[in-house]
Amino acid sequence: MSINSIFQFLVPKDKKFFPLFEEASSNLIELASNLHEAVNLPLKEREVLFQKIDALEQKGEDITRQTNLELSRNFITPFDREDIHSLITSIDNVADNLHGAASRMRLYQVDKITKSIRKLTEINLEACQNIDVAVKELKNLKKIKNITDACARISKLENKSDTVYNKAVFEIFENETDAKNIIKYKEVLSVLETATDKCKSVASVLESISVKHS
């Protein structure tokens, strides 16, 4: 048992981290919601949402920075310092990729949004909602099953994302003749698929924390 783990039994746990985790996961849902809403709008109506996504991504960066600052200030933490760093970093990685998808759609002026892009944004939103469910259980870690169930759902969503992505890429190369469009759509799809991979990485950290405290 680590020195930090021993102290956790003797000293009241610092409560600063849990609000930061929950703020990060709530911010993630808002970001994913705005992206999913954006892909269901005409090109000219997306800019307002893209600007919101920019602001939410920056907010996520600020939360990550604040969490790491608290790590440097606090000797006693609610669980292993490495897990705290991994959790907040992995959540930030999801936000980065969702923001990256929005940035590419804006940069490339992607007019026609395919069913596959809409489906991937929907999958990412659902995965982010499950991250939020699991994160909110970290306060007391008494309902481990709620965390593991949410993580299992995220894993299934990641598998579903792979299937959607692979089919979409096949259809692009099969049906699209314009090389520029191939590059545009493949990049957007790739970043969205990577975002779901990053959601699974968050789930892996959450599962690791739950196992250590079960």
pLDDT in tens, the chain (214 residues): 444 444 344 334 557 899 999 999 999 999 999 999 999 999 999 999 999 999 999 999 999 999 999 999 887 888 899 999 999 999 999 999 999 999 999 999 999 999 999 999 999 999 999 999 999 999 877 788 999 999 999 999 999 999 999 999 999 999 888 899 999 999 999 999 999 999 999 999 999 999 887 7
Give the span between the Cα atoms of 146 and 156, in whole angstroms. 16
**How many CB atoms are closer than 10 A to CB 178?**
9
**Candidates 2.30.130.40, 1.10.472.50, 1.20.58.220, 3.40.630.10; correct CATH number of 15-212?**
1.20.58.220
Cβ pair 154, 130 in contact under 8 A: yes
* Contact (Cβ atoms closer than 8 angstroms) between residue 25 and residue 87: no
Phi, psi of 171, rounded to the nearest 5 degrees: -65, -35
Distance, in Å, from the CA atom of 7 to the CA atom of 171, rounded to the nearest integer, reads 56
The 8-class DSSP code of residue 43 comes to G
Where in the chain are the domains? Answer: 15-212
Instruction: Give pTM, 2 decimals.
Output: 0.91
Q: How far apart are CA 123 and CA 141, in angstroms?
A: 26
